[in-house]
Amino acid sequence: MKIRVVSSKDEIDALDKKEEMVHLTFRPSNKDIMILINKCPKLKAIHVAGSFMKTISESTKMFLQMQNIGLLEGDVWGHRKDINEYYEINPAFFKKVESMKSEGLSESEIIDKLNRETRLDMDLIKFLIK
């Protein structure tokens, strides 16, 4: 799975309509989020830093929930946008999730274990295993 990393408001207009997951490295306004949703109708989740999450209004959060778009808190550690505009989740991650499920681990056990083993945030892991 690929997460499109967007580092400025100006980049929103250049996004592909097919983007499903976006990480915003800037503090988005409610207007930025609405423009993003209109630009990317297949959007499944918006990933933002924890400090930015606090500034997103409750009405925007409710709107995203009504549109079935996840609002995830976290960072994409170690990603360099100058090298690649996408942060990629290794396919081995999903194989590991399937393996853990087949072993009979609960969702919370899987999340805890993957959080310790990977550099992914809890919200992102929860979203990806569903």
What are 14-61's pLDDT values in tens digits? 999 999 999 998 999 999 999 999 999 999 999 998 888 888 999 999
Query: What's the domain count of the chain?
Result: 2
What whole-number distance in Å separates Cα of residue 65 and Cα of residue 48? Answer: 15
Domain that holds residue 105: 90-130
Q: Are residues 75 and 126 in the same domain?
A: no
What whole-number distance in Å separates Cα of residue 49 and Cα of residue 42? Answer: 22
**Residue 58 burial by CB count (10 A; 0-12/13-18/19+): exposed, middle or buried?**
exposed
Q: Give the pair of three-digit tokens for residue 41.
A: 């109708």
Arithmetic mean of pLDDT, 83-101: 88
69 vs 90, higher pLDDT: 69
DSSP state of 67: T
Question: In the block, which residue shows the tokens 């919370």?
Answer: 108
Q: Are residues 81 and 106 in the same domain?
A: no
Q: Are residues 63 and 107 in the same domain?
A: no
Q: Give the pair of three-digit tokens for residue 89.
A: 């989740």
Q: Are residues 30 and 45 in the same domain?
A: yes
Arithmetic mean of pLDDT, 96-109: 92
Q: Are residues 24 and 45 in the same domain?
A: yes
